[in-house]
Structure 1
Amino acid sequence: MENGRSETLMTALGFDPGAAQLYSRLLPLTGWPCAAVAATLSASEGELKEEAAPLIESGVISCGETLTVLSPTAVVAHMLERAATRAQDAHDHLLKISQSVPYVAGTAARLPTTIGEEHPIDGEVIATEFTPETFERLVSATSGDMMWLRPAVTVHPSEMRFISVIEAATKSGRRCRGIYPVAALKHSPDVLRMRVEIGEDIRILPHVATHLMVVGSTHAMFPDPLGLVEQPLVNVRQRGVVEVVTCYFEELWHRALPAAELEELPSAERRLLLVELASGAQDEQIARRLGVSLRTVRRRVAELLEELGASSRFEAGVEAARRGWL
Structure 2
Amino acid sequence: MVTPERTHPLAGLVSPAAETLYLRLRARKSLPLGTGHGELDPGSPGLAELLDLGLAFHCGEYEHLVRPVDQAVALRLLLEHRQSELVDKQNRIIEGWNRLTTLLPMNTGGGSTGELDGVLPLASTEEVVTRAAELYPSARRRMRCTDSGAVASRSTKDRLRSVVRRTPPGARFQMICPVDRSGSPFFPTVPGSTDEVRLRATVPITMLHVDDTAALVTPGASTQGALLIRAPAIISMLAEWFDLLWTDPATMAPDGHKDQSLSDMQRRVLELMAVEGDETIARRLGTSLTTVRRHVKAIYTALGVDNRFAAGVAAAKRGWI
TM-score normalised to structure 2 length: 0.44
Higher helix residue share? 1
TM-score normalised to structure 1 length: 0.43
